[in-house]
Amino acid sequence: MVVAVSALLVASPALSRLLVWPRTEFFTELWLLGPNHMAEDYPYNVSRDQNYSVFLGIGNRLGRLAYYGIAVKFRNQTQPAANSFNRTFSSLPALYNISAFVPDEQVLELPLTFSLNYSYSDALSRIEFYSLTLNNVLLNLTDCTATWDSGRNEFMGNLFFEAWIYNAAVGDFQYHERFVSLRLNMTV
């Protein structure tokens, strides 16, 4: 008996390579990393026309090749955000779309550099946004303003990324119930 148990213990690493267990969980990972490729030092206090860097990551654990569309959106404190509890996307239009094929069990990380152009109105105590530059692409923000939030002591802007996935059955992208965001305070 001891010999049989010892033989199984010795052979188990080799057997684990031969046995293929079915996957039971299928999902997508979506994350942001700070400028040093770590989950820290995210931009928060941002100044006008200064460049900031982050990394956007997509991990495919769906069991097949996936075609992702990442909707880049920007909002102030009163505009609708994506909601993870209700699994809904923001009704704001995408400012920019990032498309990528990611093979099963693979990860894609994209470096992103962004800056915001805005002005401060002392008379109105608000920020008026003009544009967001993302990886050298100028995006229009002229209909967006941010008012002073005295509870948080900030002029809040929220840069966020929603994951959409191509559904061949319907021939279009569908919201994949994943989003990540950066909460930003505009300095004056």
Structural domain includes residue 178: yes
Structural domain includes residue 2: no
pLDDT in tens, 116-161: 999 999 988 999 999 999 999 999 999 899 999 999 999 999 999 9
Residue 109: alpha-carbon gap to chain centroid: 11
Structural domain includes residue 116: yes
pLDDT in tens, 156-175: 999 999 999 999 999 999 99
Instruction: Please compute the mean of the pLDDT values over residues 32-52 and round it to a whole number.
Output: 97
Residue 5 pLDDT > 60, yes or no? no
Nearest to residue 108, comparing CAs of 137, 172, 73, 65?
Answer: 65
Structural domain includes residue 9: no
Structural domain includes residue 53: yes
Output the pTM of the full model: 0.86
**Beta bridge mates, 184:** 157
Percent pLDDT > 70 in the chain is 87
* Residue 68: per-residue pLDDT: 98
Looking up residue 131, the CATH number of its domain turns out to be 2.60.40.10
Show the domain range for 48. 25-186
Structural domain includes residue 5: no
Structural domain includes residue 124: yes
Number of domains, the chain:
1
Work out the pLDDT band at 31, boundaries 50, 70, 90.
very high
Largest CA distance in the chain: 86
pLDDT in tens, 69-91: 999 999 999 999 999 899 999 99
First to last CA, the chain: 77
On average, the pLDDT of the chain sits at: 91
Structural domain includes residue 72: yes
Residue 178 pLDDT > 80, yes or no? yes
Percent pLDDT > 90 in the chain is 81
* Residue 188: per-residue pLDDT: 86
Is-contact 157 75, C-beta < 8 A? yes
